[in-house]
Amino acid sequence: MNPVLRRGLTGLVLGVSITALAGCGTLFHPERKGQVSGRIDPVVAIANGVGLLFFIVPGVIAYAVDFSNGTIYLPSDRTSAGVDTLRLEEGMDVARLERLLSEKTGKPVSLDDELVRVEEVDSLDEALALLRMAGIDDEARLATM
């Protein structure tokens, strides 16, 4: 076999294997990590399928990584918890915060309600982790299973 052709094929197989082992969706769309469900991205599914064509194990690993990370799903129009960020002014009082939240949600909001939890966080990632731990939208997720 021609050494140039052999080197090219070796490089192609190695590249496909490394991509498949790392999970194509995880490499191509790291911003999608954490999605729970949705429509499957055909590009990611086909790229993972290419790993199945060359070797079974890398393809299966790619699918497992993408499904576990949630990167195989297309992004939805909203986050699973319906999270929206607001910049709060320094020294905002409770009544003003309640009005702001009521305007934003279109529903009356009372921060004195026993079901409302108010907590200051350092980042959006920390807020989303708190929401996941609180079980927000668990009923909706369980209904789709």
Report domain extents, the chain: 3-69, 94-144
For residue 10, the one-letter residue type is T
For residue 76, the one-letter residue type is S
User: What is the pTM for the complete model shown?
Assistant: 0.42
CA-to-CA distance for 73 and 45, rounded, in angstroms?
9
Token look-up 């999970």 returns 23
- pLDDT tens-digit profile of 52-97? 777 777 778 888 888 888 888 887 654 444 556 677 777 788 888 8
- pLDDT tens-digit profile of 16-41? 666 655 667 777 777 777 777 778 88
| Structure token pair of residue 40 | 């499957």
